Structure 1
């Protein structure tokens, strides 16, 4: 078995899934554009029309396992930082994913945001499996698949002399 194939049995039939095939590339592109649009739209809305996490961090955090941490960010300079970081962070993450630039870096920070959104969910009123968890899983998937190489800027950036000479830079791309 090659390292880019998955051998399994489905309904008593042996099945080999080629992870380097075109359908995986199309799926990675679809996920990247979908998540990129999701975050670009969320970020643009916050940046253009204003956003404050004060209500969420202050009032909605009651009963959350992270309430003590959230209360620290609920007012003052840390609230201002949070409002700025969430709006602009979502916008830049979404833009990076849409054009396929620095996809692993964007996916890392998108995953960090989704991690915080998930664990600050007050009491998981809608269950442990929610949109924040699925968003986190999507960001991890995009990072693993190197989705920026499929019709994205990362495919071109990886061919530059700088990236060839500095292998660590490839961890930001993909």
Structure 2
């Protein structure tokens, strides 16, 4: 622990607790890889099956958006569902976003970036499915927690391409710590 209370090392928080821990080669490391790959497959599959060439018809979020009446952001969803260009953008981004987020997680590339956008989608899914008849904790909230966990722990560094990318010129850039991991 630092002797100066205003300075902390890279491995300490302001309160002196250890912030960094090694996941590589430990049981926790293997577990985080399993979480990353399973979560990635979940989103990769969800996005892939929404593509028109797979499902046989184009993805359409209008029913979901226009019928989210119990949602705290129902007005936003109704606007998106009734505004042609926003609906077209949403109909493209949901399947493509899910697919790319899933792909990034499965191969362990740009995991923090993928986790951030996965979390954003899960917030919208959570608020859109705001029935909450069985309480506030549901699968969408659990998905959000998975994405936060993967991003915070830098899950791409364990058996992922992020470990390789961090050794390149890209990995030496300041922005890389927000994207890789």
Cα deviation 1:97-145 (Å, max 9, x = unaligned): 0000000000000000001111122332332100000000000000011
**Could you list the runs of 5+ residues in structure 1 that have no partner in the other structure?**
5-17
**Is 2:44 the partner of 1:40?**
yes
SS at match of 1:34: helix
**Paired residue secondary structure (2:137):** coil
Q: 1:161 and 2:163 equivalent?
A: no
Please, which runs of 5 or more residues in structure 2 have no aligned partner?
Answer: 2-10, 13-19
Q: Could you tell me which residue of structure 2 aligns to residue 133 of structure 1?
A: 141
Aligned-partner Cα distance in 2 for 1:52–1:144: 33
Does structure 2 retain, via aligned residues, the 8 Å contact 1:65–1:123?
A: no
Which residue pairs with 1:20 in the alignment? 22
In the alignment, what sits opposite 2:5?
A: none
Question: Residue in 2 aligned with 1:107?
Answer: 115
2:89 maps to which of 66, 81, 95? 81
The answer to whether the aligner puts 1:147 opposite 2:149 as a matched pair is: no
Query: Which residue in 1 is equivalent to 2:180?
Result: 173
Q: Report the CA distance between 1:37 and its aligned residue.
A: 0.2
Deviation at residue 23 of structure 1 after TM alignment: 1.1
- Whichever structure has more strand as a proportion of its residues is 1
**TM-score where L is the length of structure 1:** 0.85
- Output the CA distance in 1 between the equivalents of 2:63 and 2:133: 17
Distance 1:140 1:55, change over 3 A: same
Instruction: Give 1:66 deviation, angstroms.
Output: 1.2
- Aligned-residue Cα RMSD (Å) equals 1.9
Query: Cα distance, 1:19 vs. partner?
Result: 4.4
User: CA–CA distance in 2 between the matches of 1:65 and 1:28?
Assistant: 33
